């Protein structure tokens, strides 16, 4: 039988109260968690199993100690930049088809929410090569990754501006990336560099918050003449309250946060057909066909 994991000093833990509110802390022997005048010694959590109930020093009140999921961790971790919502990260990983062993180029690391998802998806056999031009964001990103994953050998972060170009930058023999994922204000300035570093059949994906940004990005992809199957969409999430016979949608929802644009890299010249297909579809819609 597999041994049950227990909390260790240095581990990230979320304490959850009776209303489902989560409080993040990093365990350290001898420290205390303080809340509303009461305390929980970290030593009362260290050595306990995941999901254990812990009691405040005043007695009566309790919280549940949980190892945070990746989604929970990204929402509570320190931020140098605004992080992507878990709903968008999940869609990015699926639509970019990030698989174990893939080699992924990422630009715009920010606080590393998306980076953490990419690292989990590529696994130990893959690589994530990231560019971040702001040193303060890069420092925060590294701390967030190490706090959740520890040291990661297959993550390579460079203080570079992707608008100026992309290169392999690793000691091993140069090769092409399987996926290019961008979370930048102006991805269209990176698009011209992508065909030289993304393998044929590889996937390009970018995330932007506004319609003008989407328009410029798609125009840039089409101008390269190597990208086809270009799609843009957004993801909306609405929670539901289920309490006996009272079943209703939540009064608040995570609606628009940004647009995801995906495209496939093809041999040069083969991407032109995508514009013809799109034009034919539009003409069919206009004529009710």
Token pair recorded at residue 102: 């893939």
Rounded CA separation 107/96 (Å): 14
Q: Which residues pair with 182 in a beta bridge?
A: 107, 206
Which pLDDT score, from 0 to 100, does residue 284 have? 44
Question: Is-contact 158 130, C-beta < 8 A?
Answer: yes
What local confidence, expressed as pLDDT, does residue 100 receive?
A: 96
Question: Coil, helix or strand for 31?
Answer: coil
Range 12-68 has CATH code 3.10.330.20? yes
Residue 4's contacts (CB-CB under 8 Å, 6 or more residues apart) are 49, 50
Contact, 14 vs 23, CB < 8 A? Answer: yes
Number of continuous H segments (helices) and E segments (strands) in the chain: 6, 15
Beta strands of the chain (E only): which ranges? 12-16, 22-26, 32-35, 38-41, 53-55, 62-66, 103-107, 127-131, 155-158, 177-182, 198-208, 227-233, 240-243, 246-249, 259-265
Measured on CA atoms in the order 107, 111, 113, 115, is the torsion positive or negative? positive
Between 11 and 171, whose confidence is greater?
11
Per-residue model confidence (pLDDT) at position 173: 62
Average pLDDT in the chain: 87
Q: How confident is the model at residue 279 (pLDDT cuts 50, 70, 90)?
A: very low
**Domain at 71-286: CATH code:** 3.40.50.150
Is the pLDDT confidence value at 257 over 50? yes
**From the CA atom positions of the chain, what is the Rg in Å?**
22
- pLDDT band (50, 70, 90) for residue 255: confident
Q: Where are the domains of the chain?
A: 12-68, 71-286
Plot region of 38 (φ>0 → left; ψ -120 to 50 → alpha; else → beta): beta
Tell me: the pLDDT tens digits for 112-171? 999 999 999 999 999 999 999 999 999 999 999 998 888 888 999 999 999 999 987 777
Q: Assign 174 a pLDDT band (cuts: 50, 70, 90).
A: low
Expressed in angstroms, the distance from the first to the final Cα of the chain is 61
Mean pLDDT of 12-25: 90
Global pTM reads 0.84
Residues 204/206/211/217 CA torsion (nearest 10 deg): -50
pLDDT at 53: 92
Q: Which of the pair, 241 or 116, is modelled with greater confidence? A: 116
């Amino acid at each position: 039988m597999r041994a049950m994991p227990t909390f260790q000093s240095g581990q990230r833990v979320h304490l959850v109260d009776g209303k489902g509110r989560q409080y993040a802390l990093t365990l350290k022997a001898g420290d205390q968690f303080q809340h509303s005048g009461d305390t929980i010694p970290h030593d009362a959590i260290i050595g306990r199993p995941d999901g254990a109930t812990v009691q405040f020093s005043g007695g009566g009140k309790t919280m549940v100690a949980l190892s945070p999921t990746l989604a929970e961790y990204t929402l509570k971790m320190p931020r140098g930049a605004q992080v992507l919502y878990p709903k968008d990260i999940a869609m990015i990983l699926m639509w970019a088809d990030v698989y174990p062993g893939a080699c992924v180029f990422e630009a715009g690391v920010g606080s590393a929410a998306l980076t953490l998802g990419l690292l989990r998806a590529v696994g130990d056999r893959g690589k994530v090569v990231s560019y971040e031009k702001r040193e303060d964001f890069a420092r925060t990103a590294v701390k967030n990754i190490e706090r959740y994953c520890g040291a990661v050998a297959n993550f390579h972060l460079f203080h570079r501006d992707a608008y100026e170009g992309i290169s392999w930058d690793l000691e091993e023999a140069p090769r092409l990336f399987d996926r290019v994922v961008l979370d930048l204000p102006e991805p269209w300035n990176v698009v011209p560099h992508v065909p030289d570093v993304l393998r044929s059949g590889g996937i390009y994906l970018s995330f932007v918050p506004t319609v003008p940004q989407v328009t410029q990005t798609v125009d840039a992809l089409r101008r390269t003449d190597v990208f086809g199957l270009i799609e843009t969409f957004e993801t909306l999430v609405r929670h539901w309250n289920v309490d006996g016979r009272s079943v209703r949608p939540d009064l608040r929802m995570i609606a628009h946060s940004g647009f995801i644009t995906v495209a496939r890299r093809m041999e040069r010249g083969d991407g032109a057909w995508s514009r013809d297909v799109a034009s034919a579809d539009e003409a069919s819609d206009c004529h009710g066909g």
